[in-house]
Amino acid sequence: MNRDGKIIFHDFTYPKNLVHRKLWGFYFVILKFVGLFIPSWKEAFKKLPKLIKSSTWVSDYSDAMRENGLKVEQYSLSCDSSAILIGTSKISK
């Protein structure tokens, strides 16, 4: 990676705030209902909440980027239901 090169990750996260968690859960109730009308998405809407709740991708990728000499920035979006991680190279490789 060149100096000042960047790697960017953006994915879902499970909100920390209780009110946001309740809204997040309601959102997935709606998506499961939508899945009844879009059979190809039904399985995704069913399994996605559990996957997001169990994911540790933010800390895993943050640690991996730091271990590889990257400066890490983290941003929470959409009431903490998604995150962006940016790793910036400090030296040329």
- Core vs surface per residue 71-88: b (16+ CB within 10 A) or e: eeeeeeeeeebebebbbb
Spans of all domains in the chain: 6-89
pTM for this prediction: 0.82
Least Cα distance to 13 among 56, 46, 73 occurs for 56
pLDDT in tens, 39-61: 999 898 989 999 999 999 999 99
Which residue in 23, 29, 36 sits closest to 78, CA to CA? 23
Q: Tell me, what's the pLDDT at 5?
A: 93
